[in-house]
Structures are given as structure tokens and as C-alpha cells.
Structure 1
Amino acid sequence: MKVTPALSLLLVCGAVAAHAQTAGGPVTVLEKFIITESAGYRAGDVLPTSRPVDSVFGPGLTALELPRAVTVITPELMRRFDLQSLGDLGRIGAGTQPANYFGIAGTPYLRGAKAGVFFNGMGRAYQRNEMPVSFGSLEALDLVKGPAPAHLGPVPEGGYANFIPKSPYFDRARGSLAVTVGSHNLRHAQLDYGSPFLLGGKPAAYRVSLTGQQADSYWKNVGNDYFSAYAALKVRLSEHLSLFTGAEYYDFHSNENPGWNRVTQDLIDRGEYLIGEPQNIASAAWGGIADRDLLTAPGAFTGQPANFRALILPAAVAEARIAPGLRALMEDRRAVDGGYRYTQAYFNAGGTALTDKIDGSSVLSDPNDFADSRDFLWFLDLVSTHDTDRTVTWKSLVEKLRTDKHSSYGYGVQTEQLVVDNKLLVEQRGLSPRDTTLTYGAGLRYTYAWMLQDFAAEPFNRRDISRATISANSRVPAGRDPDPNGRNLWSTGIGGSTESDLWQGALFATARTRWHETLDTFLSLRAETVNYRADLPVEVGRATLAQREAAGRSGEKHHGSGALSVAWTPWANTNLYASYQRGTALQPGQGGTVNSKSNFASAELTELGAKVSLLDGHLFAGLAGYEWENARFNDRENRAESLSGRGAELELTWAPTQDFSVIASAGSQRVFRLDPLGFRARYAPAERIALEAATFDAGVTPTPALNPQLIYPGTPETQAKLDVAWQVTPAWGCSVGAVWSHAFYHNFERTLVLPESLVWRGSVHWKQGPLTVRLSAENLFGEDYFLGADPLFSHNNLVTKAPDASGKLTVTWNF
């Protein structure tokens, strides 16, 4: 017998009725389960109040009721804003910025700081830029600003994004096939299908989603290929017990995008790039590429001629563009390097460093570079509702991440991470005092992290990216590459290369009390004990016995977190709130490694806000002011560094009809570093770059003269966003949006300024029956703008220009 979708549903309902009759209970209990699941699979339209937000203080609360700033992203908004990665989150919401760390968005940025990623309310493996987190498994997400509530556990300073997984369909079988082609050889396809069925006589449903992409990018030599396979199952095991489980496999292939090197204000403003490469030190002993011993201390700084690190201009260029008198002050290297080398005498006499025009697509990346990752994620929810006033939930998550990256400018990293997380939650309703809902439980989490990293050289400015080909002289051995003795080049210090085990055990509770119909409080408490062990991986080839003995460490930490929020409803559909939280933030090193108590920093948040839902629920607005203090972990110096931030945010959604809506936001933020600056790339004007480009030019300037408050650069401090959508006819619709960013500083020294920008996007779609065709475009008018980045270490040397205008066409068939 052929089981059609309609028959599947009839069989499910029949099984429900039979079970109810056998048990002597009412038929409606299991039918309600099916109806609820069927109604919820696409819950949410454009309004933040259109679905509950379960990832802050538990299930059932709306964005209006929550005493925290949250950007609620529904499936409809996922499609409207074409959200495909964490880098796209800057299109919607206040306090959200595109994360750009060497081109791979592994962690979101909220309120100018790194944030964590949760999946179904469970913390995922931390990874800074090992891979772009897959969106193939999620239906929607919540962006929660500031430290996570206590029951969720410690996260980085900015807050967290909670991924809501794709859920099976219980009403009928359904599916979709979407195919996209676009600029930069984009080819993307997603097949999504699910159906109800009977599993051992129990009502069940499954869902499968396959996503694949092959694409180049705006930036030369940078691809973006991946494959995601996701499957989920939900089963009503008994009248009071349900199971939801699923898994995703994700395979990503690309390479890093460090962007432009040799950064000057002229490069930012006009694309004027300093040309030339230093003397040729390619060595047969080092595999025909640069001699690394001449690029790291002490080789680069002792026993070399005064101009060893200076750039050399091709002879024809120098002779055509430099007057003979000035050229005579340069070092003639035509016989060995084919040109003239800059000298200090040349600049003292009024000489200038020569530039050529380049576009934003010419970046430091090498076509032989790679950044490959594989990730496996499995989750499970087992929910018991045997008591009408109590819900017991067992949650599990297992994630295994492996990455391998190599960049020929002089960087390499390999990581492996395993996370096993289990949590028991009990939600008890109707308690005293007054009307209290108490959620309490315990969690046990284990993280194994292994990282091999090599950041000893990284002479970013060595390579001339205006050249048509990449020279062997600008390819620097790194990581897995062998030295002349056959040993690898992985860093020999803990923090650079680390293998660690971390155990976290916690008890937690969250209580929501309705003291009056106009007054609610939310109290969260968490007690956690931490045990860690760290060492130098055995794979580090050049480590000495003394280095290995010094690297080993272990320890434990006991800490607590607490939060109190008060919400007042002076008028209907109006919520005024105040929240205070103090506790601990987890700051792993790259690859999720932990090797000291510095990885656990104190975190504090104060937030005041107001939310309203007006015009019969068609208008929602939220306003929040906040101040926080936290810390982030510095991999290179192996210590935590304190930060603070403050700002204000406004979000507004107006949907007067189903066919027309406006989404707007505005935010102003400022982040301060509370500790002096440590080791990092130095700012260099054009003359210094011309004289020092051959090696990594680094040092320490604890407090730059132009920035004594150490105001954090790297992301816009002020932004405004607007998006308007209109379904003009039943078949035709369109949307247009813009993001305005005020000019912002690129570096702590405040010598490099990234310009103000207004970036437009738009789309037109046509729908007829099961077919939808959408044409969309980003950066419609080709605005020159830049992707901000964390300037902690390297971004005096690097800056990334954002893509020019691009477009894509998506055809979706629903069945």
C-alpha cells in the first residue's frame, strides 16, 4: 500500500485515538501534541512578538515580556534578509556587526565584542575563525546581547546567538528545492523534505535538509565551498514523553582572506598601494621558498645590512618614475634582485614611496592556501510532562570539530575539538510566593581541545599583492612545513600550541515571579566548578624537553553567577525593565583551548530598557541602554585583558498589513580596553613600510598618544538600518534595505580611519503556485566601504575592503 502524506496523517491520528482508548484517557491529549507541532514548524512572521523566545529565561515568553535586549529572527526574516552565515547578521538588528577575522566568521560580534553560539539552548564548540558556522540546520535564531543568563553558562563578552534547529513536520509531508546562481561563480542548492509517519505505532515525524555550495568570491583566490547534511526526528514516545533529536555533518573548504596589507590612509581612501618586494631570500634548504631563519628574530635583525628589510622597486619602474638624483640615493640591486632598494637617505632627501592603484579584490591570499574544516553535531531533547505543573527536560549535545589551515604569507593552524554537554532541567509552575515558575537543574560539560599553531613569522607586508603572480620570495614556511632538519614549525609555547581538557559541572536555577499583574522579577543563580589540564601537544616538532616540562599545567576554579531583572508593566503592552548580572565569562583560546584561570573572567552587565507593542500588535519597539565590563583572552600573550562597553539601541518593526512591513534599528556603542596594549603589529606610515616590509614589524605601545582612553576600534560605533518590504500583488513583491555606518577608526593609534558608508540592497520576487523566483542584489550602488575587524594583533598591517555590487537569482520549488 502506498503511504501518501494525507494517509500518513490519518494513520498518526488513528494511532493517537487507539492509544487514548486503550489507556482510557481523553483523545485530545495526543491530538494536541500533533496540532501544536504542526502549527509551530514555521512559527513567526516579521514581528518579534510572533513567536516565543525560549533561549533566555525559558519557554513561553515573548520578546515583549523579556527583560533583556533580543533581536528575534524568524524563518520569514531568514529569507527576507538572506541570512546564510554569521557574517550576514550585520544586516538586521541594533548592536550587530559583520564579524571579519581573516575572512572567516566563526563567532558573531554583538555590541562591539565577541559572542558565543548556542544550538537548541546548548553551547557549541568555541571557534574564533576555524570555519563559518553552518546555517544548513537552523530554522531561526535569537541574538541575545550581553552575558548569557545563569542556566545557560558562561559565554564570551558580547552575548550569544541561539540557533533554533529545523523541526520535523507533523501536519503533512512537504519539501522544497532551492537553486541559486549568482556573481563570482556562485552555485548553491538546498533540498529540504519532511513528513509524519508511525514509528512503532507512535506518532513521529522526520526532516532532512541537504545544502551544497561551490563559489568563488569577490576576493581573488578566496573560495567558499561547503556541504551540509542535516536530519532530525521527533517522536511522541508516550502521552507524557517526547523525543527530539537530530544531527548535522558540515564540510567546508576555502582559505583565509587577510585582506589588503601595507595599510595607509591613501590605500583606504584611494586604493594607492605601496609596490615592491624585498630582496630574494628563497632557499633550496627551505623548499625553494623564503628562508624562515632570516624572517624571525634574531636572524631578521642581526648580522644583516641596514636595508635588508626594505622594499626593492623593479628597475624599469624606478627609472621611469624617480628622478636620477633621488634614485642615486637608493641601493642599486639590479644585478641580484632586478631593481633599486629604498634607503633612509632617499627618504631624508624628500623621496616618496611609490604606489599603484589596486582594487579591493586583490588580497594577500595565495591560490595554494587552504582553510578546511569538518564538523559533526548531534543533539537530543527528552521532555517529560507527566505532571501538569512540571516539565522535566534532558538535553544533550555532542560536537566534533576538525580544521586545517595554511596560509603562505606565514601562518598555519590545525585544531580538533570535542564537546560533550548534558543538562537536566526541571520547570515547576504555580509555586509560591505569588505565581512563581522555577526552572532548576544541573549540567556537566566536557571539552577536549587540541591546537597546533604557528604565528612566529607572519610578515604580512612582505608580499606585493599588486603583482600578477605570487613570488616564491613572499611564500613563508609555516606550521606543517619542514625546516631544513625535517622538523615542523608549530609554536613551542603553550597558548600558541595547546592540548587541553576542561570539565565544567554546574547547579543552576531561574525563578520568574509575578508579584502583581504589573510587576515581575527574574532571578538567576549558578554555581559552577571547573577543572582543567593543559599541555604542549606531542606533535610540536621543535619543542625541547624543558619547554615541554614548563608547558604542563592544571587547576580548578569555583565560581558563581547571579542576575536579577525587574519588569514593570505600567500600561497594557508596555514593559519597562532593569537587569543586573554579575558572574563569569568563559574566554577560550583559539580552537577552544583552556590553559589557565585567565580563561575565566569576571563579567558584569547593567541594562535598562523599554518595550511596547502598539496598534493592535502591528508595531513593536524596543529601547535599551547598557553598560558592561568583561575580558577577552589574548592567545599570543596567554592572558585575559579587561574591557568595558556602553551604548544604546533602538529596534522597531511595523507591519500594518500582511503585505507591507518596515524594520528599522539604530545603535550607538563604545568599547574601552582597561589594560594597556601588549605585543602587536605596529602602525607604520608609508616610509616605514617601505623600509621594514620584509619582516614582521611588531612592538609594544601601551597607550597611544591619540587614544589615551584606549577606545576600541574595529567596528562602527554608530549604525542605523532600515528595511522595507511590500507584496505589491499576490504574485509580485519587493524589498529594499540599507545599512548606514558612521566613519570609525581601524586601529588603536587612531591613524587609520575607515569611511562612512551607506550600503543598499534590494530584491524582487515572483510567486506562482509552488514556484518562487527571487532576484536579489547586495551593495546596489557599489559603495566603497570596509569590513571592520578586531585590531588586537595584526590589523595595523591589514584591512579588508567589502565586496562591490553583486547579485543572485534563486528559484524555489515547494512540493
Structure 2
Amino acid sequence: MTYRKLATALTAASLAAAASPLAAQSPASADETVTLEKIEVTDVPIEQQILPTSRPFNSVYGTERGILDTPRNVTIISREQMNAIGILETRDFSKLTASSYTQTNFGLPSNPAIRGQTADVLVNGMRRGLTINGNGLPLNFNSVESVNIVKGAANVIYGASSYAGGYADFITKKPYFDKFSGSVSATVGSWDVYRWTADLGGPISPALAYRLSYSGEDSTGYYYDGKKKTQAVYGALEWRPSERYKIEVNSEFFVADVTENWGINRVTQQLIDDGLYIPDAGSDAAYAAAIQNIGGGFNPVRPYGTPVKLDRRRRLLAPGDDSYGINYTAQVIQTVTMSPDAKIVNNTFFNYVDRDTFSSYYYNSVHKDNWGLENRLQFDGKFDLGSVKNAFSVGVTLRHQEVWAVDDFWHEPVNSFDLTRNSDLNRVPATAFQYSAAFPFNNFNPGILIPGYGPRGALPGRYASSGATYGFDPVTGNFYGYDDLSSNDSTADQFSPFYQHDVTFNEKLSLLIGGRVDFLHVKNTDPLPPPGFTAVSDEETVQMPSFNVSPVYKITENITAYYTFGYTTTNAPGLGGGYVFTGTTFGGDGRSFTEAFFDQKNFLHEAGVKASLFGGKLFVGTAVYDQQKRWVTDDSKERYTKARGFEFEVNYQPNKNFYGTASYSYYDAKQRYTGFLADSATYDQRLGGTAIPATPDFPSISVEFQQPGMPEHLFNFLLGYKFDMGLSVTLGTVVTGPMVTSQEGLGTAGGSSVLFTANEIPWQHTVDLSFGYKWQQWEARLAIRNLTDQENWSAPNPGYGNGSINAELPINGELTLTYRF
């Protein structure tokens, strides 16, 4: 890790934050929130309220608005709900909101999925970035007070990214101004799960307060050879020297050492339905010998034996595989209130990531000293023109990002390994990265050793792929023809002016409009050119416009209808993070950027009705949407993802004792775009002789197909009851409809026509039950998850849907003891 570079970046972030006002308005702290908007449920403490009408928020349009006046479908997850379900990862969002089902992403989902697309993560309105296709460091919730989940691409103030499905805005913990208080807790769970936290804060003076929070984990977990070791430290300061000026500072350091969870390979319908796994035929000695001769791609399928019952705790990995990383963030939010109708907000956010993942089967990813710095300056004003009320936000965002990432997913013969054998044999040998007569394909896209990294597992070093296409090397006989490019050493500079205007014509009708242009300059140099070749480099400057229009009509004072149209232009995401060259699959040359890379058009049509009923004790929200992403690649082929759906959410809290939430979503999506796809056919069909008997075969499919890895139906509910004597009970359920795990349709593989096939995960449900008891300053909570002990499955990254599936946890429990002071 280059600590000098990190120190320089941190200094720059601090100077930028101190020198300028920040762009996304800070969320109100607990004591402020009560005074900002009337609380309908008067006997419920603010920290226990789950109704989205109980407080204003700014996660959708950058200015504080009530939920009824917000023309988007948004779910507010309160601290009460987070504690009730014990949110540990983005996949848990399915327990509380509609249209959010996140694939396992090898056990490390760093981003949620919303409406079938990878979604962004924001921190107090600022994008974290520096992620790769939703896979990376696990998210840490130590710093999080609540989460606002927004469906659809971000508005013009926040700016859209390549992850246009939606976003989760993490609202961080705020300092305590009223008094010194805090808590410590410890959790013990099934299969050696151990977690602990400490949180405290209070006033330093009437104008200055602080908050400190620490969390740690040292767990083995359910799966064999697993580990999750994390440490996180978070701090926040807030200073209010006058009624007109406020500055909020927060920072977090997070380190994690975990194992990936690829899941189970050789996926068949029989495995999903009956738990039966297809092993190799022959002896252990014959299998061990065969493994030493596997190549990268296009490995022939070996003879198989009688299907056997597989231990669900098994997964594809070898002892010693792990993923290690460090994440540091810092944020400064300044607010200058010049009058009741005018203020300036300046938001600066710095993010640093250094991580690497090594899996012997073989996936390698190294991200070294990556960082990003973003500053948004925003002026909010109000004025009247006769009876027409106007509110506007105008500003500019500046962003700089540097990414160094090398990856290798070309040499992943995942279906070559037999999980019934010794897991220490789940290792791709060094010969797989070199040309051999046995595997002539090994000279196509051979691996390159990363300088500075020593032996790992069975290999002399860490192999990765170049970030560009170089063609045939007559000296070695190798062909460096990488197509699914990932490795990059890229920088990006962005200048983004925006304007948003809210017109209230009368008590019934208002109109919200906004526009933005992202002026983006990117440069990329291949970080790992083949020996003897000069690294390819290219740069590009583009303009990416976006706008949104939303009429809002108040049917009554407490019932609102809205329609939103949004258009955003985004770039295609690089699998390694950053900006990569355009591969030959999409008409590029693998050596440069193309304009099509930055011209993905996203359209959102959304209409909904929201209602606050029974004196504000019941909130109901519904929405229908048509959300599309379309682009034309350099080979003149139109690619798209088009999703349509319906969402229904309800929150009910009549008193301090009871609350209930429920949501349902219907989702239907079609695609004409595969991205990366490892295998064209399920393993049982390969063995039956109906598909190319080689794995992986890196196929291509161009017909329209149903989007894999997303249930058509998703339903959840959460009920909570607190007795006055201190006992509490919560019951939650998630139901998912059937989903295919991979693409289906006619395509090509190895130059031949192939009928793509997939498996299907059937209807599934999970029931969670928890009990809590408060006595004076103590609280104990017992959580029982998967109460009915369902043998559920979860969908992987769709690119590996025919090579991976994850076995969900059986019934398990956790006991947490908390002391508050």
C-alpha cells in the first residue's frame, strides 16, 4: 500500500472540505428532526418510529421533503427496523422493501440490486464508488443510523452512475447534543459467530458534540474453511457556532479479512430439488491426477458417477483462500443559512479502497490504493411569483477518481472440480496459464504474473489478465486477445453543473424539473501489458446529459399521486472498477475507448399513489414503472434491459407497542445483452450430451431472454410488539417466486449454435423470529433465523448461473446482550 499517496489524498480531501461548501444536504439529527416536521404518532419516541411520514429526508432530490411530496418510490429503513431484523448485508434489504433482491455475488455483495440491476451506495447523499459489479468488500453497518432505499436512477443533484437500478443512501450516526450516552453489546451465534460493538457520544459544549462507534467480528460461520474478521471505527463531530452556520464531519476506517462464498458448482435441477450432486467417476487418485492437468477455459467434461447427497456446508474453495481489504472514508458537510429562503450546502466525500481477493479455483483480483474525491456545492433558494411558489437548487459537482485494478476470471474451470473430494485439490495449477499440447487453448489469453506478489497456494505468484488486446506474439506463440476486459489503471475527472426547480401552482398541483450535464474526461493505461509489449493507453472526453420531470397532484391533504420521467446517460461499468477499454465482443478493438461506452441511455417512467391515513398511523405507497437501459455497441447491435413492475408497501404504527410493515413487488424483465457469461448449459445437460462438452465455453447469446437471478414475485412482512413490562417480539417473513439462474435462448459457443439452458429456483420462504427483553439499562435479544429450517438456495451472479449456486443457512440463532448508559 502506498501510504504516502494515501496521506496526500487525505490532506487534499481535508483542504477541499474546509475550503468549500458541500452539496448534499445533511440529514437532520434526532433532536432536530422532531422540530422539523409534525410527528403524527405522538407517543412513539422518534428513534422507535418506523413510519416514513415521521421525518423529512433528502435522499431523493437533495432537499428536505416529506414522503408524500416526493415523486419517487422510496423506502426508509429506520434504526428500529434495522435492530429488529439485524441487518448485516445488502441482501437483508429484501426483508423490508419491494423490488430489492441481491444475488450472492460470491458471498461479498458490496452493492444491493434494485429492480433487477446493480444499485449504488451513497453516504449522506454522496456516492461511494470504487466498486466492481456489486462484488467487493462486504458493507459495514457500524456507522449507519438509517437507510433510504430509492428505486430508479438518481436525480440530477446526485447524478447517475452506471448502476442505474436505484441506490441505498446510508444516513450515518449523528452526535448527541442533549446528554452523554452510549451502549456496548456482544453477540454470540451459531457456528462460532462472535460480534461486539461500542457506541457513545455527547456534547462537548452547547455548540459542539461528538459520536464514536466501534464494531468487530471474529467468526467462522456455517461453511467449511470460512472466516469473517472485521474491525471498524467511526467518528463524527458537529459544530454549530451560530444559527447560520453548521459543519458536520464524519470518518470511518474499516478492515476485513473474509472468505468468498462461490457456492456449489455443477449445478443441476436435481441438486436444487433433491440436494443430489454429480461427482466424478473413478478413484481419488485418478481424480487428483486429472486435476493437475486441467486448463483454463474449454475443459472437457470428465466421466461422472452416481449422484450423491452433498453436505450443504461445502463450497468451491481451497484452504487459505481469502479476501482482504481496507476502506477509509471521510466526509465534511457545511451548511450556511443566509435566510429562511436561502442557504448554501457543501458536501465533500473521500473514499479509499485497497483490497485483494484470491481464490484457487481461479479468481484473482487486486485493487491497489484506489481513491476518489468528490465535492458538491449547492445553493437552495425560494421565491414567490404571485400565488405561485418556487424553490430551486443550483450547483456543481467536482470529482476525481484513480483506480488500479487487475483481475483474472478467464482461467476459472469451476465445473472441473468435484466437491465430494479433498478441498485442498480445488486449485488451478500453474500449467493452466501456459501453453501445453494437452490444452492448446492455454495459449489464448494466458495469465501474466503480477510484479511484486510472491507464491500463493499452488502457484508461483498471482496471475492476472492484461487490460488490452495485443494479438499474436510470434516469440511465445501466445495470443493476447482479451475481450472481457477488466484490468485498468484509470483516472477520471468530472465537472457536473445541475439545476432543479420545484413549482407549486396551488395547494393541489406542483411540478419538479431538473437537468444536469456530466463533463467527463477519462484516461486508461493497461496496468499489466504482456512481456515485451508496450502498455496501451487511451483517453476520452465526453458529455453525458440527464434530466427529470415530475408532476405531483394532491388528491387530498394526505393522498398524493405523481408521475416521474427520468432520462440519464451513463457509461458501461468496468468489471475491475474504473474505466476499461471496449472489448471486441461489442465492436471495439480492446485497445481504446469508444463513444458507445459512454452512451448508455436510461429511461424511467414511474407513476404512484401515496397515502397517510388514520391520523398518520398508516402509510401506504404504490408504484408502477417501466425502467429501461438501451445502448448501441460499435458493432451496430442494440442491447437493452427493459423492466416493468408493480410495487406496494405499507407501514402501520398505531402506538408505541405495535408496528407492522409489508411489501410486495411484481417484476418482469427482458434483456438482449449477456455481458460476461461462463457457461451456456447446465451441467446435467452437458453430461447428457446435449451441449458442448467443455466448461467454461464463454458463449455469446444475442436473442431476447428473461433476466436471470431475479424473482418475479417478492413479498415480505415484519411485525413487532413491545409489552410494557419490557418483553418484545418480532416476526418477519420473506417469500420469493421462481427464478431462472442463467440465460435461456439460442446462441453460439465455440463457433457452433447452442441452445442455452438454465436451472430454476422454485418458490421459497424464510421465517425469522426474535425475542427481546429490556430491564433498566440492559437489553437481551434472541434472534432465530430460518425458523422452519428451509433448505433454500440463492441465485449467484447471472454470469455464473450454470456453474454456481449458494446454499442458504439452515435454522440458526444469535444472542445479543446490550448495556446502555
TM-score (normalizing by structure 2):
0.82
Report Cα offsets for 1:775-801 as digits up to 9, x if no partner: 01111011122112331x222111112
Q: Secondary structure at the match of 1:630?
A: strand
Change (3 A) 1:162 1:38: same
Paired AA for residue 577 in structure 1: Y
Report what 1:643 is aligned to: 641
* Corresponding residue SS for 1:657: coil
Within 5 A, what are the aligned runs for 1:108-257?
A: 108-127=112-131, 128-155=134-161, 156-198=163-205, 203-257=207-261
1:515-594, aligned counterparts within 5 Å?
515-537=505-527, 540=528, 542-545=530-533, 548=535, 551-594=536-579
Does 1:36 pair with 2:36? no
What's the CA shift for 1:210?
0.2
| Conserved? CA contact 1:422–1:445, under 8 Å | yes
- SS state of the match for residue 464, structure 2? coil
SS in 2 for 1:429: strand
Q: Which amino acid aligns with 1:384?
A: V
The structure-2 alpha-carbon separation of the partners of 1:486 and 1:695, relative to structure 1 and needing over 3 Å to count, comes to: farther
Question: 1:680 is paired with a residue of what secondary structure?
Answer: coil
> Residue 411 of structure 1 corresponds to which residue in structure 2?
363
**Distance in 1 of aligned mates of 2:282 and 2:400:** 48
Secondary structure in 2 matching 1:56:
coil
The aligned residue for residue 97 of structure 2 is: 93
The one-letter code matched in structure 2 to 1:439 is S
The aligned amino acid for 1:437 is A
Deviations 1:369-412 (A, max 9, x none): 01111000000001101233111011100000011110000110
Show the 5 A alignment for 1:268-667.
268-276=272-280, 295-296=295-296, 309-311=300-302, 342=303, 353-416=305-368, 417-432=370-385, 434-471=388-425, 489-494=463-468, 495-537=485-527, 540=528, 542-545=530-533, 548=535, 551-595=536-580, 596=593, 597=595, 598-599=597-598, 601-630=600-629, 641-667=639-665
Query: In structure 2, what is the equivalent of residue 82 of structure 1?
Result: 86
The structural deviation recorded for 1:769 is 1.1
Contact 2:34 2:55 in 1 (8 A): no
| Percent identity of paired positions between Structure 1 and Structure 2 | 24
User: Judging changes above 3 Å, is the alpha-carbon distance between structure 1 residues 779 and 510 closer, same or farther for their aligned structure 2 residues?
Assistant: same
Aligned pair 1:814/2:817, yes or no?
Answer: no
Note if contact 1:373-1:402 (Cα within 8 Å) is conserved in structure 2.
yes
The partner residue of 2:715 within 720, 729, 738 is 720
- 1:670 corresponds in structure 2 to 668
SS class of match (1:102): helix
Is the Cα contact below 8 Å between 2:782 and 2:814 reproduced in 1?
Answer: yes
* Amino acid paired to 2:295: L
Q: Give the Cα separation in 2 of the matches to 1:426 and 1:104.
A: 38
Q: Which amino acid aligns with 2:148?
A: D
Give me the whole-angstrom Cα distance separating, in 2, the residues matched to 1:171 and 1:587: 47
Q: 1:489 corresponds to which letter in structure 2? A: Y
Distance apart, 1:746 and its partner CA: 1.3
Question: Do the aligned partners of residues 528 and 567 (structure 1) sit closer, same or farther apart at CA in structure 2, a change above 3 Å counting?
Answer: same
C-alpha deviation, 1:283, in angstroms: 14
8 A contact 1:43–1:51 mirrored in 2 = no
Which amino acid in the other structure matches residue 357 of structure 1? K
Judge which range, 274-283 or 389-398, deviates more. Answer: 274-283
Cα separation, partners in 2 of 1:694 and 1:253, compared to 1, 3 Å: farther
Q: What amino acid sits opposite 1:593 in the alignment?
A: G
Instruction: Answer whether contact 1:587 1:632 (CA < 8 A) is retained.
Output: no
Secondary structure of the residue aligned to 1:470 is helix
Contact kept? 1:296, 1:695, Cα under 8 Å:
no
Shift of 1:543: 4.4
Q: What CA distance in whole angstroms lies between the structure 2 residues aligned with 1:768 and 1:633?
A: 62
Matched with 1:787 is 794
Q: Residues 130 and 371 of structure 2 are in contact (CA less than 8 Å); yes or no, is this contact kept in structure 1?
A: no
- How far apart, CA to CA, are the structure 2 residues paired with 1:542 and 1:678? 23
Distance (Å, rounded) in 2 between the aligned partners of 1:670 and 1:135: 31
2: distance between equivalents of 1:485 and 1:799?
27
Question: Which amino acid is the alignment partner of residue 452 of structure 1?
Answer: V
Contact 1:282 1:291 (C-alpha < 8 Å) held by counterparts: no
User: C-alpha displacement at 1:196, in angstroms?
Assistant: 0.3
1:141 CA drift (Å): 1.1
Matched to 2:770, the amino acid is S
Distance 1:413 1:693 in 2: 29
After TM superposition, give the deviation of residue 353 of structure 1 in Å.
Answer: 4.0
Q: Distance in 2 between matches of 1:277 and 1:187?
A: 40
User: Once the 2 structures are TM-superposed, how far is the Cα of residue 51 of structure 1 from its aligned partner?
Assistant: 1.7
Q: Quickly say closer, same or farther: Cα 1:679–1:356, change in 2 above 3 A.
A: closer
Contact 1:37–1:170 (8 Å) recurs in 2: no
Q: How big is each residue's C-alpha offset from its partner over 1:283-319, in whole Å with a ceiling of 9 and x where there is no partner?
A: 99xxx99668x5036xx67xxxxxxx443xxxxxxxx
Question: What does residue range 767-786 of structure 1 map to in structure 2 within 5 Å?
Answer: 767-786=774-793
Please give the alpha-carbon distance, in whole angstroms, between the structure 2 residues aligned to 1:96 and 1:361: 26
Q: Which residue does 1:55 correspond to in 2?
A: 59
Instruction: Write the distance in 1 (CA, Å) between the matches of 2:729 and 2:62.
Output: 36
Provide the rounded CA distance (Å) in 2 between the counterparts of 1:90 and 1:450.
Answer: 33
Q: Which amino acid aligns with 2:541?
A: E
Query: Equivalent residue of 1:508, what SS?
Result: strand
Once the two structures are superposed, what CA deviation does each residue of 1:644-691 show, in whole Å capped at 9, x if it has no partner?
111000000111222111111100012211346775312134263599
Question: Contact 1:289–1:474 at 8 Å: present in 2 too?
Answer: no
* Aligned 8 A contact 2:611 2:620 in 1: yes
CA distance in 2, matches of 1:37, 1:111: 30
* Long gaps (5+) in structure 1: 1-31, 302-308, 312-341, 343-351
Query: Hey, what's the Cα distance between the residues in 2 that align with 1:780 and 1:467?
Result: 31
**Post-superposition shift, 1:255?**
1.6
Q: Cα deviations across residues 611-655 of structure 1 (Å, max 9, x unaligned)?
A: 000000011000000011126999xx9x99531111000000111
Does the 8 Å contact 2:152/2:167 carry over to 1? yes
Deviations 1:171-218 (A, max 9, x none): 0000001111111211111100001013xxx71000000000111222
List gaps (5 residues or longer) in structure 2: 1-27, 37-44, 433-446, 469-484, 581-592, 745-756
Give the letter aligned to residue 744 of structure 1. Answer: M
Secondary structure at 2:93's aligned position in 1?
helix
Q: CA deviation at 1:74?
A: 1.2
Partner residue in 2 for 1:24: none
Q: Which amino acid aligns with 2:377?
A: L
**Residue type matched to 1:463 in 2?**
F
Contact 1:216 1:224 survives alignment (8 Å): yes
Provide closer, same or farther for how the CA distance between residues 74 and 131 of structure 1 changes in structure 2, counting only shifts above 3 A.
same
Normalised by the length of structure 1, the TM-score is 0.83
* Secondary structure, aligned partner of 1:379: strand
Instruction: Give distance in 1, aligned partners of 2:459 and 2:767.
Output: 54
